[in-house]
A and B are shown apart, each in its own frame.
Chain A
């Protein structure tokens, strides 16, 4: 049987070992860990993996400011481009879509 691997971030396939390595490299804040490891940069936009990352960091004894969560960018979850492309044409004057 192959070795079992636990992903912290399923979208970008980031493992606990990757988190440990990044912490050793000196990355100790969530914004930097996100960009170093790509945690939270996939389709879930950090919804599942950032809370997991915070608890793993805690277990590793890394002091982080959990109130400083990575900046949330719209549209929160992937939206088909055609929905956003119709912003001008899609809205009538009385606000009806």
Chain B
């Protein structure tokens, strides 16, 4: 049996069983690609996917992000219907505390509107219609993104996993990739804890491990893991539906499917620092959010954890072939947006692998060579 494992040849090996890798396995299998294998060193979703808040939006500040996310949202609809997992288009509300912010976000809404995204600014008094129980004192207004929404990271990933498995994709958990094997400028396989696996294409969707793996074949992807923190309350009956953002604090609050309030806030962290929990984070995030929801202080705090935003210099992911080595593709550096982008990323990587190029030209702008060519993008709307 061990010999059989060694000899097995795959068309595509995906390194990383997070939402990106699992969604890609599903899309590849659905497109008729056989012999697809996902390698996950720990358990599925154990990297950043299961640490995330589950927000989904197209209200970014770059054309690339907006356009790709508009397609991703179409796919969120389709996939949730096909596979029957929870997804709610319940909107995002960005709370704006100063006139300056309000003006800035009014401009941002105009920019969104030119790209076909129907965001709009609303006055302070109107916010409580969208976000019941909010204490609107000091609120100048808000940006409302009706197209945005939320999903459950667990339910989504597991639905895609079960569907991919049914279509023939294979998953090895507890089996990490040690090294990508190349020969004469072409990928030939992956060295794993269970021996080498041979394949025609490798997709590295390994979050914070991506840089190390690609460094092994002489490809440098500028990725840095930055710890981010979040906590969740006990479950309560529904209070508000949209994901709420405090624009000036870089903080978010969302009531998840089961009724718990999931809260995050920006807190200073060093790039590359280990994942820890800090006594000052709950105090900070509760200070930000109890200003808007004073009743939050009377909820029960259930769990607190941290996870990585794997960030790139321009806060956009790195997608597609790596050029230097034939047959290696990358999908990493989502800078906090990997969950929401997974459907479109899986779709376009499938196109890259099957047809040689993506169908959405905006995906082409996210290739690795942009860093060497100085074609960096710009994104300011990163939360948490």
Contact = CB atoms under 8 A, between A and B. Distances in A.
B267 to A, nearest CB: 13
A43 B283 contact: no
Nearest to B158: A36
B162 A78 contact: no
A29 B43 CA distance: 8
A95 to B, nearest CB: 13
Interface string A52-66: 000000000000000
A81 B281 CA distance: 12
A80 interface: yes
9 contacts: A35-B154, A36-B158, A43-B302, A73-B303, A74-B304, A78-B300, A81-B299, A87-B280, A88-B283
B305 A81 contact: no
A2 interface: no
B287 A85 contact: yes
Nearest to A65: B174
Interface residues on B, range: 35 or more
A43 B258 CA distance: 13
A81 B299 CA distance: 6
Main secondary structure of the interface of A (DSSP, over half): mixed
B43 A84 contact: no
B234 A43 contact: yes
Contact of A84 (B46, B234, B286): B286
Contacts of B199: none
Contacts of A38: 258
Contacts of A29: 43, 173-174
Nearest to A30: B43
A25 B300 CA distance: 33
Interface stretch (B185-193, B215-223, B290-298): B290-298
Contact of A81 (B42, B44, B154, B296): B296
Interface string B264-301: 00000000000001011011001100100000111111
A75 B303 CA distance: 6
Please give me the 6 A-B residue pairs with the lowest Cβ-Cβ distance, nearest first.
A78-B300, A87-B283, A85-B286, A84-B282, A73-B303, A82-B297
A32 B40 CA distance: 13
B102 to A, nearest CB: 28
B158 A81 contact: no
Interface string B214-233: 00000000000000000001
